[in-house]
């Protein structure tokens, strides 16, 4: 949809504005930011405060239409791409320059919080509204994006960001994601009003000047440290996989301890081995999240165990060292417990460092607003890492109260929500000036 600029009513009742804020020519409207977050939170398949807006669901579609309506009101060209990403673009003064891009994801996990993803989307649209309200045109176009299916509830994650980055193959559309019932992903997209046949048109064929994603931390570091702004140094890499343990199921009363091939006793040691490969010299964090025990009967020595493992690090060498260490420990456990232990790693996802220019711009922006910063890694994956091939990327975190996310009690103090949006806007204005 293309429309001309429409002046926005400016809300002068921002309760969070500090009297010593720098008199910049453009600023976000705190009242509008918070009321738009409330408006989005109400679009949910479950009653509040939990928000359920699974990708391509009727609630997701309703939220996408609200975003689409906000675009024209700020003089931005706004459209939905063939997979369901909602994009708004505010023109720049130099049409030869690639866009500065900001945004996050519009979908949620079932029973999730109102800020995960949505905060970065609403703030991105607020950046456009603020530029329009101030009549400010940057050199670069400014593009706001609401990616679809970051969470991967109904289909493998990052559908929207993989589509724009050219990393989504059309074969995937013909698979039947288990959570989508008997339908293919293509049929699910069509039923949500998307145009999967035109997948190629979702791809961004030109580079971006920079992509900056604003997000809640989803962890406790900023909240516990009393720091308002996190400057993300890197998005973590992941090495996931399965461990299969095969012993011999047998009678729990008649099989002497010394003669058992107990798969679950070996599995207990493998769980501790997974834990042991994180720490100094190893990966950052490591988890066994699932165990399947066979036959899982009280009076039978377990004969089979399958388990998952999830290793994460921002350093690819430490990630592969942790995997080698795990394989070595698993072999030793198998020999000692007289069971067969097989480690099956999945293809790893590489860590993505944030671009130094973006990190510095975020730091300068926070300093200009008098906000303290902390450099930290993102232990969760984000769309920002998926689109890193398109140009320099970076992330801004705001505190998650109690470190809680993916839950209805997810929250961030309004002062920090507004601070993060202000830092986002100032970062983009800074990058517009400082990018080579």
Interface ranges with Zn ion (CB under 5 A): 116-117
Minimum distance, C-beta of residue 283 to Zn ion, in the bound complex (Å):
22
Query: Minimal CB distance to Zn ion: which residue?
Result: 117
Instruction: Give the single-character DSSP code of 56.
Output: T
What whole-number distance in Å separates Cα of residue 367 and Cα of residue 361?
10
Of the pair 383, 430, the CB lying nearest Zn ion is at 383
100-105 and 142-147 beta bridge pairing: parallel
Min dist CB 261 to Zn ion, Å, is 44
The phi, psi pair for 149, rounded to 5°, reads: 55, 55
Cβ count within 10 A of residue 181: 10
Q: Rounded to 5 degrees, what are φ and ψ at 110?
A: -65, 130
In the complex, minimum distance from the CB of residue 120 to Zn ion, in angstroms, rounded to a whole number = 8
Task: Report, in Å, the least distance between residue 150 CB and Zn ion.
Answer: 6
The nearer residue to Zn ion, 113 or 237, going by C-beta atoms, is 113
Rank residues 138 and 148 by Cβ distance to Zn ion and give the closer one. Answer: 148
Question: Tokens standing for 169?
Answer: 């193959």
Cβ-contact 99, 143 below 8 angstroms: yes
Report in angstroms how near the CB of residue 320 gets to Zn ion at its nearest: 27
Question: 372: which 2 tokens?
Answer: 């303290």
> Residue 109 Cβ, how far from Zn ion at the closest point, in Å?
9
Asked if residues 118 and 160 have their Cβ atoms less than 8 Å apart, the reply is no
Contacting residues for 265 by C-beta, under 8 A, at least 6 apart: 337
Q: Which is nearer to Zn ion, 103 or 282 (CB)?
A: 103
* CB-based contact 122:43 (threshold 8 Å): no
Residue number with CB closer to Zn ion (59 or 116):
116
Biggest CA–CA distance in the chain, Å, is 83
CB of 234 to Zn ion, least distance (A): 17
Toward Zn ion, which CB reaches closer, 154 or 173? 154
Alpha carbons within 13 A on the beta-carbon side of 4: 1
Cβ-based nearer residue to Zn ion, 116 or 269: 116
Which residues, listed in sequence order, are joined to residue 215 by a DSSP beta bridge?
397
């Amino acid at each position: 949809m293309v429309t001309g600029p429409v002046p926005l009513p400016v809300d002068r009742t921002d309760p969070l504005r500090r009297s010593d804020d720098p008199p910049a020519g453009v600023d976000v409207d705190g009242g509008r930011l918070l009321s738009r977050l409330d408006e989005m939170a109400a679009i949910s398949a479950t009653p509040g405060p939990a928000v359920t807006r699974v990708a391509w669901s009727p609630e997701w579609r309703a939220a996408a239409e609200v975003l689409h309506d906000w675009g024209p009101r700020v003089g931005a060209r706004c459209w939905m791409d063939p997979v369901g990403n909602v994009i708004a673009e505010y023109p720049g003064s130099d049409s030869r320059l690639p866009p500065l891009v900001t945004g996050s994801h519009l979908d949620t996990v079932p029973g999730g919080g109102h800020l995960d993803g949505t905060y970065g989307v609403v703030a991105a649209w607020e950046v456009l509204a603020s530029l329009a309200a101030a009549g400010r045109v940057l050199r670069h176009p400014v593009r706001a994006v609401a990616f679809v299916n970051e969470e991967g509830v109904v289909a493998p994650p990052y559908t929207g960001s993989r589509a724009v980055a050219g990393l989504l193959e059309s074969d995937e559309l013909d698979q039947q994601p288990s959570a989508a019932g008997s339908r293919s992903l293509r049929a699910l997209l069509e039923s949500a009003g998307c145009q999967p046949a035109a997948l190629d048109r979702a791809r961004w064929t030109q580079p971006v000047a920079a992509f900056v994603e604003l997000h809640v931390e989803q962890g406790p570091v900023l909240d516990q440290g009393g720091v308002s702004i996190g400057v993300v140094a890197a998005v973590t890499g992941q090495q996931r996989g399965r461990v299969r343990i095969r012993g011999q199921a047998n009678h729990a009363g008649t099989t002497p301890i010394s003669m058992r091939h107990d798969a679950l006793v070996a599995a207990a040691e493998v769980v501790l081995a997974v834990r042991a490969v994180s720490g100094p010299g190893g990966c950052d964090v490591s988890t066994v999240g699932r165990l399947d025990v066979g036959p899982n009967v009280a009076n039978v020595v377990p004969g089979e165990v399958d388990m998952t493992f999830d290793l994460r690090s921002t350093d690819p060498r430490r990630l592969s060292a942790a995997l080698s260490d795990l394989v070595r420990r698993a072999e030793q456990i198998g020999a000692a417990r007289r069971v067969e232990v097989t480690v099956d790693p999945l293809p790893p996802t590489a860590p993505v460092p944030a671009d130094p220019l973006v990190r510095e711009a975020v730091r300068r922006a926070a300093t200009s607003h008098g906000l303290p910063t902390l450099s930290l890694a993102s232990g969760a994956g984000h769309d920002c890492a998926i689109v890193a091939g398109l140009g320099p990327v970076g992330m801004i975190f705001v505190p998650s109260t109690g470190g809680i996310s993916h839950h209805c009690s997810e929250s961030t103090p309004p002062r920090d929500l507004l601070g993060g949006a202000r830092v986002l806007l100032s970062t983009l204005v800074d990058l517009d000036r400082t990018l080579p």
